[in-house]
Amino acid sequence: MAPRVIVVTSGKGGVGKTTATANIATALAALGNKVVAIDGDTGLRNLDVVMGLENRIVYTLLDALDGTCTLSKTLIRDKRVEGLCMIPTAQSRTKDAVAPEQMEHVCDELKKDFDYILIDSPAGIEAGFRNAAAGAGEALVVTTPDVTAVRDADRIIGLLESMEKSPIRLIVNRIRPHMVMKGDMLGVKDILDVLAIDLIGMVPDDESVFTSTSRGDPLTISSTSRAALAFRNIASRIAGNDVPYIDLEAPQGAGLFGFLKKAFGQGR
């Protein structure tokens, strides 16, 4: 299999990109792949903490780009999961510290040793996102089921399309089934109607995510929570397996769909 480089993006911040990157990378490695997760969110780095590897940082991606060390020196091997590595970024630099060409070069180098390269990126449509996404072939767009996040996801999807990323697939994170049933939260079908990209997974809003983040213990290492299962299913679908979707919700948020359409004007 040719190595795959996948950027994890969103329009709006705080929707779960870093959580998704850590858990999907871990689950892909648990499936027997060689995986590296790169923190592409320079300045706000978080992936190291969510993966529980912050105490092992010696060099960052920026050190390799500055020529202070080789790229392989920046790789932190996760001792809990065979085949899993991460590359941290710097906290003290700004989002434009990594140029698109540099990111492409880094990804090309890593393709020699890894099956999957996942890149956690900053939210939004600014330079930081473009830099993080430069080396990627494919994209995962994360959104939560609220109108502003979905509208921002629409913008980022347009940009990813113009950058010729393919496939671009959607993760709907933090779904609360009882709210969808009451019509207080957008349903996944509503979101897919608007965004018109393929779904790769739905993740429930789950307290286990909070505890796993605080402990630096990705859920897909050993948790049996619903969110853990959802992230494992996403990894398995990325790897090409046909995994049935769990029905996280029943009736759709009809009232909110009208509001969503209005928020989009004539739509994309």
Ligand X SMILES: Nc1ncnc2c1ncn2[C@@H]1O[C@H](COP(=O)(O)OP(=O)(O)O)[C@@H](O)[C@H]1O
What is the H or E stretch that residue 75 is in? none
Instruction: State the angle between helix axes of 254-263 and 188-195 in degrees (0 to 180), rounded to the nearest 10.
Output: 20
**By the rule CB under 6 A, 232 interacts with ligand X:** no
C-alpha torsion angle, residues 111, 114, 116, 122 (rounded to 10) = -70
Q: How many residues bind ligand X (CB under 6 A)?
A: 18
Interface with ligand X (CB under 6 A), residue from 227, 235, 248, 256 = 227
Footprint on residues 145-174 left by ligand X (CB under 6 A): 173-174
Residue with tokens 């940082």: 57
Interface with ligand X (CB under 6 A), residue from 3, 11, 16, 145 = 16
Q: If contact means CB under 5 to 8 A according to the sort of partner, which of ligand X, Mg ion, none does residue 10 touch?
A: ligand X
Q: If contact means CB under 5 to 8 A according to the sort of partner, which of Mg ion, ligand X, none does residue 165 touch?
A: none
CA distance 123 to 8: 10
The least CB distance from residue 16 to Mg ion, in Å, is: 8
**By the rule CB under 6 A, 19 interacts with ligand X:** yes
* End-to-end CA gap in the chain: 35
Residues within the interface to Mg ion (CB under 5 A): 17-18, 46
Distance of CA 74 to the CA centre of its chain: 21
Interface with ligand X (CB under 6 A), residue from 39, 78, 152, 205 = 205
